[in-house]
């Protein structure tokens, strides 16, 4: 395989006496969908926090595109090409859906320049607005542009959340349970979207829906109690006895 895009080396993180992550080493190569599974409380979201910069690890190193980003602030990581979605919907409830995404588009300084602009009205920046509308259409929210994000249905808010992350045009997308709380139809749409994206963007996917995971993932890593138990292709993971015992057994039961 090609050179890893994301390289996590020996990352640990504890809260008080609780070891949320212990010596986790993991990589995501360019173009791959890498699923992260594990029982509740295994540390999956904590790992996402370390990569996105919401938290800093106590030990270990995180490299992205060959550069050390371990101590970088969250916004700097986004600028470098790492975007994330949240397990609990995190959007601008009192802005319209279009304005939500327009903010994400406008934030790409490399494309649009600085947002420290004080005079020209933002409403006149048609290219930004057009691109934002295109992202909404891509995640299936065409026609909902002027609806306040807070009054979208739950599934639609999840789609908007995805659009926000995508509109930053990341190289690596960290998706924390993107299908949480969605109906089967909406889930199917998101699965298709990720399948479609998988060719352009690398994805680290945390998900509980095993059907979706086995369908989407190129590789799967299993996290149990903050430790990485196993990494392999889906068939290996399915067959791995320890994984079955530690995790899949719970799900099948």
Partner 1 sequence: MGGALYRQSAQRRWAALALLAGLTVLPLLLQAVGHEFYVSFVSRLLIFALAATSLNFVVGFGGMIAFGHAAFFGAGAYTVAILMENGISSALVAWPLAIAVAALLALGIGLVSLRTRGVYFIMITLAFAQMIYYLFISLKAWGGDDGLSLASRSTLGSLPLSNDAVFYWVVLACLAATLLLLDRITHARFGRVLQAIRENESRMEALGYPVHSYKLLCFVIGGALAGLAGALIANHGQLASPSLLQWTQSGTLLVMVIVGGVGALYGGVVGAATLLLLEEVLSHFTHHWHAALGLALLFVVFRAPHGIAPWFHRRFSRSKKNEAPRE
Residues that bind partner 1 (CB under 8 A): 52, 54, 73-76, 78-79, 83-84, 90-96, 98-99, 103-104, 106-109, 114-123, 125, 145-148, 151, 164, 168
- Beta pairing, strands 172-176 & 33-37: unpaired
In angstroms, what is the minimal distance from the CB of 99 to partner 1? 6
Distances (CA, A) of 156 to 64, 97, 117, 143, 149: 31, 10, 32, 12, 9
- The residue among 22 and 147 lying less far from partner 1, judged by its C-beta, is 147
The phi and psi torsions of 41 (rounded to 5 degrees) equal: 80, 10
Please tell me what DSSP assigns to residue 245: I
171's enclosing H/E stretch is: none
Closer of 83 and 213 to partner 1 (Cβ) = 83
CB closer to partner 1 out of 30 and 54: 54
How near is the Cβ of 143 to partner 1 at its closest, in Å?
Answer: 12
Smaller CB distance to partner 1: residue 26 or 78? Answer: 78
Residue 184, exposed/middle/buried by CB under 10 A (0-12, 13-18, 19+)? exposed
Instruction: Report d(CA 28, CA 31) in Å as an integer.
Output: 9
Minimum Å distance from CB 73 to partner 1? 7
Q: Which is nearer to partner 1, 125 or 218 (CB)?
A: 125
Q: Closest approach of Cβ 163 to partner 1, in Å? A: 12
What is d(CA 237, CA 229) in angstroms, rounded to the nearest whole number? 10
Q: How far is the CB of 194 from partner 1 (least distance, A)?
A: 19
Given the complex with partner 1, which of 97 and 191 has the nearer CB atom?
A: 97
Q: Are 128 and 101 in contact (CB under 8 A)?
A: no
Residue 113 C-beta: closest distance to partner 1, Å: 9
Report the sign of the C-alpha dihedral through residues 237, 239, 245, 247, in that order: positive
Q: Which two tokens stand for residue 53?
A: 């910069």
Coil vs helix vs strand at 14: strand
Q: Which is nearer to partner 1, 25 or 147 (CB)?
A: 147
CB of 23 to partner 1, least distance (A): 27
């Amino acid at each position: 395989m090609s050179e890893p895009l994301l390289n996590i080396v020996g990352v640990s993180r504890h809260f008080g006496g609780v070891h949320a992550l212990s010596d986790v080493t993991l990589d995501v190569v360019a173009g791959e969908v890498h699923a992260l599974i594990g029982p509740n409380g295994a540390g999956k979201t904590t790992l996402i926090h370390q990569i996105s910069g919401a938290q800093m690890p106590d030990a270990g190193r995180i490299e992205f595109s060959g550069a050390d980003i371990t101590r970088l602030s969250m916004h700097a990581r986004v600028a470098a090409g790492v975007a994330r979605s949240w397990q609990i919907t995190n959007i601008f409830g009192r802005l319209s859906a279009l304005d939500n995404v327009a903010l994400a588009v406008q934030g790409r300084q490399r494309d649009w320049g600085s947002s420290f602009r004080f005079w020209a009205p933002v409403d006149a920046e048609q290219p930004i607005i057009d691109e934002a509308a295109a992202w909404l259409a891509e995640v299936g929210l065409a026609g909902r542009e002027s609806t306040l994000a807070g009054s979208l249905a739950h599934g639609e808010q999840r789609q908007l959340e995805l659009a926000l992350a995508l509109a930053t045009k990341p190289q690596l997308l960290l998706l924390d349970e993107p299908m949480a709380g969605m109906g089967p139809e909406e889930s199917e749409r998101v699965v298709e979207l990720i399948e479609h994206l998988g060719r352009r963007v690398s994805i680290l996917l945390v998900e509980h829906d095993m059907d979706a995971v086995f369908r989407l993932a190129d590789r799967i890593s299993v996290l149990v109690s903050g430790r990485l138990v196993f990494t392999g292709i889906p068939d290996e993971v399915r067959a791995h006895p320890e994984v079955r015992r530690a995790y899949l057994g719970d799900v099948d039961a």
